Amino acid sequence: MRHEQDPDARWLAAVMHAAFFLLLAASLTRFLLRHPGEARTPWIIALSVVLALLYVLGPALGFRPTPRRLAWLGTVVAVWVVLVLLAPSFAWCAVPLFYTGLRALPPRAALALVAVLTALVVGAQLRLSSGFDPNLVLAPPAVAAVATAVFVHMDRQAERLAATERREGTLAERQRLSMEIHDTIAQGLSSQQMLLQAAERVWDTDPDAARAHVRTAAGVAERDLAEARRFVRGLGPADLAEGGGLPEALRALTRRESAQHGSARGGPHVRCLIDGTPLPLPDHVQSALLRIAQGALANVREHAEAEAAVLTLSYLGDQVVLDVADNGRGFRPGAAAAAGGATGEGSVRGHGLPAMRARAAQVGGTLTVESAPGEGTVVSAAVPLGQAPPPMSRTPRGGPGTQEETS
């Protein structure tokens, strides 16, 4: 029952503290008005002041059940008990003490304290009554039961909410780790496997080509190692860290993709187009779009059997759009989804398209896939821009205003 960092708990604690001092002041005023000049009056005033000072010290001790906190609570209850024995009108100060006990003690000890306080309240009320009144016997336990039930219910709800948030946070972190591993280590290992298999095929007939494949695989491993280290440190993609922003990072990606897996090695020839005037984008948006491009090109390389692919980044004023198009064998997106496909291009394994969709959703964007058997595939990620200039017309690919780099 410890939620001192919860704003609602702090607000409720403030209300209970204010209620305690109001009840204490009201009880003291009532006693002074009804019993003026009695011998016990100085003791009542002194004990009231002591009780108020003790209560003020409570928040400084925190809300954990430390020995100091428990000693403070025991002293407060003891002073209050003496006050109630001297002047039963102080009994109703017990209501805020219920709350204090429930916050400071383990559940069983807190319930025992509530029961003791309630019994003292009933006894004090019967002393003030001229005759037996069932309300004085039944009302205090009823109030105590309701207050305790409400507090316990709210406390358990808060604990369940905290547990849910922790669980959701864990799942979100697992998804992030899964996507990062898929987009860095897994793709790098796949590239290295393809290059080493190509080297093995020509090892005896063309040793120079085999060594070139091995050197390329070593370069891929070196870059993926750097990516893994940045990933462990929670940093963004290495391509973005090299400067030039998202356009230059995408150009570097397509150059590397063509160099490592281009048509000479059986992979697609990849081009990069930048459409419109580049705008500064938040780091998390740039990172997401770069990872989507990496995932889409990995799908093209592994599944599409394409000869060419075009990566286009379009700045449209109110949004930025990333398209990855290939002339591969294509697939039926609806049929792949129904079959449990994850990567597209006829594959039913991996995390490809779900990871790309999740990345787009994390930055407020959407991802669409257009494909048909024999007609290639276009993966498109669109991210709206929060503070955007007036909308721009989208120029055709390769037309005026389009910057192209052939890799």
* pLDDT tens figures, 105-132: 777 888 888 888 888 888 887 777 766 6
Q: Choose the final residue of a domain: 82, 99, 132.
A: 132
Q: What are phi and psi of 270, to 5 degrees?
A: -115, 135
| Domain limits for position 372 | 257-406
Within a domain: 354? yes
- Among the three residues 75, 98, 132, which one is the final residue of a domain in this structure? 132
| Beta partners for residue 324, in sequence order | 311, 379
> Which of residues 39 and 232 earns the better pLDDT score?
39
Place of tokens 């990871």: 355
First to last CA, the chain: 62
In a domain, 279, yes or no: yes
Tokens standing for residue 255: 């150059």
Angle, helices 283-299/245-261, rounded to nearest 10 degrees: 20
Contact (CB, 8 A) for 264 and 224: no
Residues 6+ apart with CB under 8 A from 99: 12, 13, 16, 147, 151
**Residues 392, 384: Cα–Cα separation, whole Å:** 13
Interatomic CA distance for residues 156 and 140, integer angstroms: 24
Q: What is the pLDDT of residues 227-242, one digit of tens each?
A: 776 666 655 566 776 6
Judge whether 122 lies within some domain.
Answer: yes
| Domain harbouring 305, CATH code | 3.30.565.10
Looking at the 3D structure of the chain, how many domains does it have? 2
**Quick check: is 120 in a domain?**
yes
Position with higher pLDDT, 6 vs 80: 80
Block residue for tokens 């204490």: 24
The domain boundary, picked from 81, 109, 132, lies at: 132
- What are the CA-CA distances from residue 346 to residues 210, 214, 342, 353, 373 (Å)? 30, 29, 9, 12, 9
pLDDT grade, residue 323 (50/70/90)? very high
Q: What pLDDT was estimated at residue 311?
A: 95
Bridge partners for 386 per DSSP: none
Strand 377-384's sheet: what is its strand order? 366-371, 377-384, 319-326, 308-315, 269-275, 402-406
- Is residue 236 in a domain? no
> Residue 335's pLDDT band (boundaries 50, 70, 90)?
low
Q: What value does the mean pLDDT take over residues 5-33? A: 81
Residue 233 located in a structural domain? no
**Angle, helices 41-57/7-34, rounded to nearest 10 degrees:** 170
**Predicted pLDDT at 9:** 67
Task: Tell whether 160 is covered by a domain.
Answer: no
